Amino acid sequence: MSDDRLIAALDVPNALQGLKLAEEIGDAVSFYKIGLGMLTGGGLALANELKQDHGKRIFLDMKLFDIGATIEAAVRGLAQFDLDFLTVQGDPQVVRAAKEGAAGSGLKILAVTVLTSLDRADLDSNLIKPGDVQDIVLERAANAFEAGADGVIASPHEAALIRALPNAAGRLIVTPGVRPTGSAKGDQKRVATPAQAITDGADHIVVGRPIWTATDPRAAAQAILADLP
């Protein structure tokens, strides 16, 4: 089994392209992320096929946000697919409802702190309280852990600080915004290399474009894995 610290993001338009990409990568990657962009293109069917037929671990990145009863019902429905990770917004009431929905399953609930594509100017536009982005991420992470989150999504810049939180023991830190040396940042603003993210306390790194846009996605994934400490 390959190193599951690397989660490859299947950020392609539909399930057929996602399956083709996973087949190209082969056994180099054992953990895949399927996000909202593919939901209407057969994302759940692909998640189920990769899990049941190919033995892959699956991270469903939905970033759910709604009233508690709706979150609980949605997560209960998703939990029946025997997936591994699911994201919800890191607000405590959302996390608590998601944990209720996931009860009795192996589905891990990961709370989104602050999206890695956002900076302080974006938070101002969104009417998020004043303060340093890192401080807000830390506060949201601590609150999510308190509400029962199995882990958090945070940029590599905050991984070490979150790992040092008193209630972070035994919790997962999953970091998007990871870019191999020389890769374009794209729409990410708070980035680091895969090796740095792992060194700073991340359990898993999520890499999308540098893999799926590569001429040889399998080789690109292997190069990232070879760089991990």
CB of 147 closer than 8 Å to CB of 92: yes
Distance CA 139, CA 136 (A): 5
**Is 99 tagged catalytic?**
no
Write down how long the chain is: 229
Catalytic residue among 56, 63, 99, 185: 63
H or E stretch covering 149: none
Q: How many CA atoms lie within 13 A of 132 on its CB side?
A: 5
Residue whose structure tokens are 């607000």: 91
Please tell me the distance from the alpha carbon of residue 19 to that of residue 36, in angstroms, as a whole number.
16
Q: Please, what sign has the CA dihedral across residues 191, 194, 197, 203?
A: positive
- The structure tokens listed for 98 are 């998601």
Comparing CA positions, the residue from 57, 64, 16, 58 lying closest to residue 36 is 64
Whether 212 and 15 have beta carbons less than 8 Å apart is answered as no
Q: Write out the catalytic residue numbers.
A: 63
